[in-house]
Chain A
Amino acid sequence: MKTKYHINYTIPFVVFILILLCWEFLPTLFSIPRYIFPRLSEIINALILAKEYLFTHLSTTVTEAVLGFFIGSGLGFIFGVGMAQSRLFSNIALPYVIATNAIPVIAIAPIIVLWFGHGITAKAVVSAFLCFFPLVINTYRGLSEYNPIYKELFQLYGSSEKDFLLKFKIPNAAPYIIAGLKLNATFAVIGAVVAEFIGANAGLGFGMLQASYSLNTPRLWGYIITSCLLGVSMYMLIFFVEKILLKNRAI
Chain B
Amino acid sequence: MNSTVIKNISHTFKNKGNSIKVIDEFSIEINAGETVAILGPSGCGKSTILRCIAGFQNPTEGTVFINGEYPSLALQRKKIGFAFQEAALLDWKTVVDNIKLPGYIGIKTLSEAELHQKTIELLNLMQLNGFEKYLPNQLSGGMKQRVALARALLLQPSLLLLDEPFGSLDLLTRSTLIVEFAKILLATQIPTIIVTHSIEEAVYLADRVCILSSRPCKIIREIRPELGKQKDFNLFEKTDFLHSVAKCRKLLLDHWNQNEN
Residues of A within 8 A of B105 (CB): 154, 157-159, 163, 167
Chain B interface residues toward A at CB < 8 A: 51, 54, 56, 75-78, 80, 82, 84, 86, 88, 90-94, 101-102, 104-107, 135, 137, 155
Closest to B78 in A: A157
> By the criterion CB–CB under 8 Å, are A160 and B106 in contact?
yes
> By the criterion CB–CB under 8 Å, are B92 and A149 in contact?
no
Of A153, A157, A174, which is within 8 A of B88 by CB? A153
* Interface check A8, CB cutoff 8 A: no
Residues of B within 8 A of A250 (CB): 91, 137
Chain A interface size range: 20 to 34
Closest to B51 in A: A152
> By the criterion CB–CB under 8 Å, are B107 and A171 in contact?
no
* Interface check A55, CB cutoff 8 A: no
Residues of A within 8 A of B76 (CB): 158
Closest to B88 in A: A149
User: When chains A and B are docked, how far (Å) is the Cα of A17 from the Cα of B36?
Assistant: 71
Known: A159-B106, A163-B105. A152 touches B92 (CB 8 A): no
Least CB distance from B55 to A in Å reads 8
> By the criterion CB–CB under 8 Å, are A153 and B84 in contact?
yes
Residues of A within 8 A of B94 (CB): 248
Tell me the interface secondary structure of chain A in the complex.
Answer: helix
> By the criterion CB–CB under 8 Å, are A155 and B90 in contact?
no
Least CB distance from B233 to A in Å reads 31
> By the criterion CB–CB under 8 Å, are A171 and B90 in contact?
yes
Residues of B within 8 A of A158 (CB): 75-78, 105-107
- Top 5 A-B residue pairs of the complex, sorted by shortest distance between their CB atoms: A158-B106, A157-B105, A158-B76, A159-B105, A250-B137
Known: A155-B56, A156-B80, A156-B82. A150 touches B88 (CB 8 A): yes
Known: A155-B75, A156-B54, A158-B76. A248 touches B135 (CB 8 A): yes
Of B104, B137, B155, which is within 8 A of A249 by CB? B137
Of A149, A157, A168, A171, which is within 8 A of B102 by CB? A157
* Interface check A147, CB cutoff 8 A: yes
A95-152 at interface with B (beta carbon < 8 Å): 147, 149-150, 152
Closest to A250 in B: B137
Residues of A within 8 A of B107 (CB): 158
Residues of B within 8 A of A249 (CB): 91-92, 135, 137
Residues of B within 8 A of A163 (CB): 105-106
User: When chains A and B are docked, how far (Å) is the Cα of A158 from the Cα of B80?
Assistant: 10
